[in-house]
Amino acid sequence: MVGQWRNPKLVVRLVLGVLLAANLVAAGLVLFPPGGSAEDLERQLAGLQSQAMTRQATLERARQHASAVERGRAEGDQFLGEYFLGSRTASSTVLSELDAAASAAKITQREHAFSLEPIEGSNSLSMMSVTAAYTGKYADLMRFVHELDRSPRLLIIESLSAAPQQNSDVLSVSMKLNTFIREDAAREVAAR
């Protein structure tokens, strides 16, 4: 075997075969480069840049939506805290609002009745209905309604009826008001 390596023809053939194989491998790498041709890589880069821009825009829209949701939640909690009454003080707060409005309007209070109904779909909100009776002159009644309208509380007049008393310019007024109650425990959680 050692003698075969001394044969120059065999050595030259062997070297030429190795060079031919190396040339074939090099030609394959030139024609089919790993990762694709320059044009393929440029197309892939453009596609990836387009995807990145699209995803960046989607992310920015999601951030804007999240910001709007948080702002809406904060404004909703502020509204509930400002206009909805606490359950512990609701009756006394409504009575004091009605007393203040009646005193300012110079009408006479007769009686009040309260009823509380839960609001469907909410664990912490209820609606309080107040039925009240008053006597007074027409101008005083208008001022009373105006005072209720200006109240910082959310008092909604559902119905109002007025009937004149016999041989007098005094009206008997019956009205139904609604206001909304928020459970105090829910208010404390929302304040956190």
pTM surpassing 0.85? no
Encode burial over 48-79: b for 16+ CB neighbours within 10 A, e otherwise.
eeeeeeeeeeeeeeeeeeeeeeeeeeeeeeee
Residue 174: its pLDDT value, please? 93
Residue 4: its pLDDT value, please? 65
* Residues found in the chain: 192
Give the pLDDT confidence of 27-60 residue by residue, as tens digits.
887 777 777 677 777 888 899 999 999 999 999 9
Strand pairing of 108-118 and 125-136?
antiparallel
Residue 65: its pLDDT value, please? 94
